[in-house]
């Protein structure tokens, strides 16, 4: 074979091979071009190499040189085609060095929801299960079963949100004590968290809607000592071991004796009431069918907003309901 003819074939092979790799748009197409041109068995480069034997011996050196150049060019074209189809984003003109789109801002649970979960968790570790009750209550559960007779000032329409037909928005979570005891025999050890409603004048520590966490423990031999140590353990667990709380004698129609529990407020210059508590009145136990000669119990009802405020140094209860993200995003 004439050298010029053989070289012309190599030129044509190079041009066709380069075009094939340039036009291959997918990993499959690149692989097909590789097999066609660079394949070990039947590739066109292999065939061109074998053609060396047909070239006159004196021209083999020139043919060999040109052959090596074509082979190197096709291998390089294969490498760059591979890199191109492996990175389609780069080939499509996407500039990966541009600043990204900001991640969407995720919301989170309201501080009071977080507080409720923490309180339930803490009392859970002290052995208290969780109970629930309705926010729209009847007069029986909100007052009567709690020893609050019809003429009692706590029933005053000015102090409650009455709806129709002897129903009202519950003014305390103590209603749940009754509902739990109606449902199950002793022993009982539960907490219940929920909203309560009172037409109180609003100030930094009072709202007309707030949350209470109610606790109830009824069993043989439950005493005031159990109540005090439970509340102290809870306060230290939630507010830290350096918290200062104090118990004051008080009165509730459904507990005897009764106490109020205060916590030293942030700043340390005044006491704020955390909740009410006491030993469940024997009449209340009797009304739900428990035998006060057999079992005794304690109950407490604590203000959830105030606990959260004391823990996080919040100075105004209204912040919980004004939906200011500068406040909410801190939790």
Answer yes or no: is 31 a known binding residue.
Answer: no
Beta bridge pairs of residue 197: 209
Min dist CB 129 to ligand FA5, Å, is 17
Contacts of 24 (CB under 8 A, 6+ apart): 30, 32, 33, 81, 85
Please identify, using beta-carbon distances, which residue of 179 and 198 lies nearer to ligand FA5. 198
Pairing verdict, β 188-197 and 129-130 = parallel
> Rounded to whole angstroms, how far apart are CA atoms 243 and 130?
25
Please identify, using beta-carbon distances, which residue of 21 and 252 lies nearer to ligand FA5. 252
Please identify, using beta-carbon distances, which residue of 88 and 129 lies nearer to ligand FA5. 129
Min dist CB 252 to ligand FA5, Å, is 4
> Rounded to whole angstroms, how far apart are CA atoms 114 and 16?
69
Task: Name the residue whose CB lies closest to ligand FA5.
Answer: 303
- The burial class, CB within 10 Å (0-12 / 13-18 / 19+), for 261 is buried
Residues 211, 111 contacting (CB under 8 angstroms): no
> Rounded to whole angstroms, how far apart are CA atoms 175 and 153?
18
Min dist CB 282 to ligand FA5, Å, is 14
Please identify, using beta-carbon distances, which residue of 10 and 173 lies nearer to ligand FA5. 173
Please identify, using beta-carbon distances, which residue of 14 and 137 lies nearer to ligand FA5. 137
The residue written with tokens 């129709």 in the block is 164
Per the rule left: phi > 0, alpha: psi between -120 and 50, beta: everything else, 101 is beta
Terminus-to-terminus CA distance in the chain, angstroms? 86
Min dist CB 306 to ligand FA5, Å, is 5
Min dist CB 201 to ligand FA5, Å, is 8
> Rounded to whole angstroms, how far apart are CA atoms 174 and 147?
11
Neighbours of 87 (CB within 10 A): 12
Task: Please report, as ranges, the residues that interact with ligand FA5 according to CB under 6 A.
Answer: 172, 174, 198, 200, 206-207, 210, 212, 252, 255, 258, 273-278, 299-301, 303, 305-306, 317
Min dist CB 192 to ligand FA5, Å, is 11
CA atoms within 13 A on the CB side of 109: 8
> Rounded to whole angstroms, how far apart are CA atoms 7 and 12?
9
Please identify, using beta-carbon distances, which residue of 67 and 298 lies nearer to ligand FA5. 298
Please identify, using beta-carbon distances, which residue of 48 and 277 lies nearer to ligand FA5. 277
Per the rule left: phi > 0, alpha: psi between -120 and 50, beta: everything else, 84 is alpha
Min dist CB 315 to ligand FA5, Å, is 14
Q: What tokens does 29 get?
A: 């197409």
SS3 category, 148: coil
Per the annotation, binding residues are 256
Per the annotation, binding residues for Mg(2+) are 256
């Amino acid at each position: 074979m004439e050298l010029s003819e053989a070289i012309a074939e190599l030129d044509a092979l190079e041009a066709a091979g380069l075009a094939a790799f340039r036009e291959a748009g997918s990993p499959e197409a690149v692989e097909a071009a590789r097999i066609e041109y660079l394949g070990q068995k039947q590739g066109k480069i292999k065939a061109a190499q074998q053609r060396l034997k047909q070239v006159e011996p004196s021209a083999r050196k020139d043919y060999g040189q040109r052959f090596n150049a074509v082979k190197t060019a096709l291998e390089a074209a294969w490498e760059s085609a591979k890199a191109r189809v492996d990175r389609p984003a780069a080939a499509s003109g996407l500039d990966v060095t541009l600043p990204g789109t900001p991640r969407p801002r995720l919301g989170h649970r309201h501080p009071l929801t977080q507080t409720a979960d923490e309180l339930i968790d803490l009392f859970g570790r002290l052995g208290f299960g969780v109970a629930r009750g309705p926010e729209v209550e009847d007069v029986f559960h909100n007052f009567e079963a709690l020893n609050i007779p019809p003429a009692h000032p706590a029933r005053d329409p000015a102090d409650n949100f009455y709806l129709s037909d002897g129903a009202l928005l519950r003014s305390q979570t103590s209603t749940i004590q009754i509902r739990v005891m109606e449902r199950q025999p002793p022993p009982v050890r539960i907490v219940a968290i929920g909203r309560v409603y009172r037409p109180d004048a609003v100030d930094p520590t009072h709202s007309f809607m707030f949350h209470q966490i109610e606790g109830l423990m009824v069993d043989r031999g439950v005493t005031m000592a159990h109540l005090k140590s439970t509340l102290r353990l809870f306060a230290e667990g939630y507010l830290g071991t350096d918290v200062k709380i104090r118990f004051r004698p008080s009165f509730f129609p459904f507990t005897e004796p009764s106490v109020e529990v205060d916590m030293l407020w942030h700043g340390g210059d005044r006491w704020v009431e955390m909740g009410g508590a006491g030993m469940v009145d024997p009449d209340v136990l009797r009304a739900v069918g428990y035998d006060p000669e057999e079992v005794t119990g304690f109950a407490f009802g604590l203000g959830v907003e105030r606990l959260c405020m004391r823990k996080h140094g919040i100075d105004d209860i209204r912040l919980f309901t004004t939906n200011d993200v500068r406040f909410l995003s801190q939790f």
